[in-house]
């Protein structure tokens, strides 16, 4: 009986209380780093800006949990909520945020999400800040991680450029450094960014960028596409490895005139190794509590319960047999003439 109680306690009491994203996460000193070579990008550090080809780019993400805000939101809404600030920026390798001025591209987001499902929640004064301008924003879908006990199914995942969540599809199971991971792929087709995010039909760009040097400015459309691939550890939902194949062009009158971003950014080996080491123990512990203890504890409990019933019935029958034997021993002998 003790094993059955322990199995039920593990699955229905302990696991829901442990399968939660932490609220005090801080990766300032250990950010996720992705790199891409042979990149094409618009170098805004130059004056006037110029398009670089065959260069290198590095993308960095830092996350800081907002502990007090998370606890307050959880109390007010009656559910487990985490509030994070996350800074993501892209520049050339060696860029120093403290000394080199603004990056080529950088976004600071304040997000709120369910600590178990990882789904974004409309609460807690969420916003995005881009190029120094802060805008209130309601995030949707998944953002920094997948759910605890990730399933082999489609989800929706946030895209920072489009400021919306689109489907990300499960495409199989594999291993990274001995860790089981699920592979998900999000295909974002060519999309007019400014029409999608602001409703504006055109973007004013310098004429020389689109092959019209005699024009001080030209109306162009910024077309963006991306293939985002994520390898997530299923017990914790943690992202172990990630890759983005981004393409952004400037189109004039429906004709592509310039490529301003063409790069495949992928987590560095150091980041992947750090992630595996960071999450492997928690993944093992959660699976132990969710699967192995309930399975083997319940099985052992049923076996012991069955043995107990068997010996109880056997003992009862043995006692009945003894009573019958004793009754026969004490009967008076039959007298015959």
Residue 304 has a pLDDT of 44
Asked whether residue 282 is assigned to any structural domain, the reply reads: yes
Asked whether residue 334 is assigned to any structural domain, the reply reads: no
Residue 199 has a pLDDT of 73
DSSP 209: G
Contacts of residue 298, defined as CB under 8 A and 6 or more positions apart, other chains included, come to: 3, 4, 7, 8
Residue 124 has a pLDDT of 96
Nearest to 186 by CA among 152, 138, 220, 225: 225
Asked whether residue 110 is assigned to any structural domain, the reply reads: yes
Residue 29 has a pLDDT of 95
- Structural domains in the chain (count): 1
Residue 245 has a pLDDT of 98
Residue 310 has a pLDDT of 42
Residue 16 has a pLDDT of 73
Nearest to 61 by CA among 87, 36, 35: 87
Contacts of residue 105, defined as CB under 8 A and 6 or more positions apart, other chains included, come to: 89, 90, 91
Cβ atoms within 10 Å of 10's Cβ, excluding its own = 21
Pairing of strands 179-192, 164-176: antiparallel
Where the chain has pLDDT below 70, the residues are 1-14, 200, 292-337
Asked whether residue 267 is assigned to any structural domain, the reply reads: yes
- How far apart are the C-alpha atoms of 69 and 71, rounded to whole Å? 6
Judge contact between 93 and 85, C-beta under 8 A.
Answer: no
Residue 14 has a pLDDT of 61
Residue 295 has a pLDDT of 57
Residue 300 has a pLDDT of 46
DSSP for 253-289 reads TTEEEEEEEEEEEEE-HHHHHHHHHHHHHHHHHHHII
- pTM as predicted: 0.84
Q: Which domain holds residue 56?
A: 2-291
Asked whether residue 231 is assigned to any structural domain, the reply reads: yes
14-24 pLDDT per residue, tens: 677 788 999 99
Asked whether residue 298 is assigned to any structural domain, the reply reads: no
State CA 147 to chain mean position distance.
7
Residue 82 has a pLDDT of 98
- Residue 181, classed as helix, strand or coil, is strand
Asked whether residue 325 is assigned to any structural domain, the reply reads: no
């Amino acid at each position: 009986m003790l094993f059955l109680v322990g199995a039920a306690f593990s699955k229905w009491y302990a696991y829901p209380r442990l399968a939660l994203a932490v609220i005090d996460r801080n990766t300032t000193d250990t950010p996720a780093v992705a790199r891409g070579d042979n990149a094409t990008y618009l170098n805004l550090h130059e004056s006037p800006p110029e398009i670089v080809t065959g260069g290198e780019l590095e993308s960095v993400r830092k996350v800081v949990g907002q502990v007090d805000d998370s606890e307050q939101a959880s109390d007010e809404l009656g559910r487990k909520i985490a509030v994070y600030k996350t800074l993501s920026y892209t520049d050339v390798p060696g860029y120093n945020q403290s000394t080199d001025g603004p990056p080529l591209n950088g976004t600071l987001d304040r997000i709120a999400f369910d600590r178990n499902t990882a789904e974004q929640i409309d609460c807690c004064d969420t916003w995005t800040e881009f190029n120094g301008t802060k805008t209130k924003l309601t995030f949707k879908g998944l953002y920094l991680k997948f759910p605890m006990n990730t399933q082999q199914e489609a989800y929706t995942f946030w895209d920072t450029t489009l400021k919306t969540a689109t489907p990300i599809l499960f495409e199989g199971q594999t291993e990274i450094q001995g860790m089981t991971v699920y592979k998900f792929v999000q295909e974002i087709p060519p999309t007019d960014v400014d029409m999608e995010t602001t409703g504006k039909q055109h973007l004013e760009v310098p004429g020389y960028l689109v092959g019209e040097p005699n024009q001080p400015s030209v109306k162009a459309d910024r077309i963006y596409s991306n293939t985002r691939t994520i390898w997530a550890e299923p017990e914790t939902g943690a992202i172990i490895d990630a890759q983005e194949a981004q393409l952004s062009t400037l189109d004039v009158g429906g004709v592509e005139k310039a490529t301003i971003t063409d790069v495949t950014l992928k987590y560095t080996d150091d980041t992947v190794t750090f992630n595996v080491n960071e999450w492997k123990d928690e993944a093992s512990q959660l699976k132990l509590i969710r699967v192995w203890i309930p399975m083997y504890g319940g099985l052992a409990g049923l076996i012991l319960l069955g043995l107990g019933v068997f010996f109880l019935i056997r003992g009862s029958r043995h006692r009945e047999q003894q009573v019958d034997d004793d009754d026969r021993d004490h009967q008076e002998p039959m007298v015959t003439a």
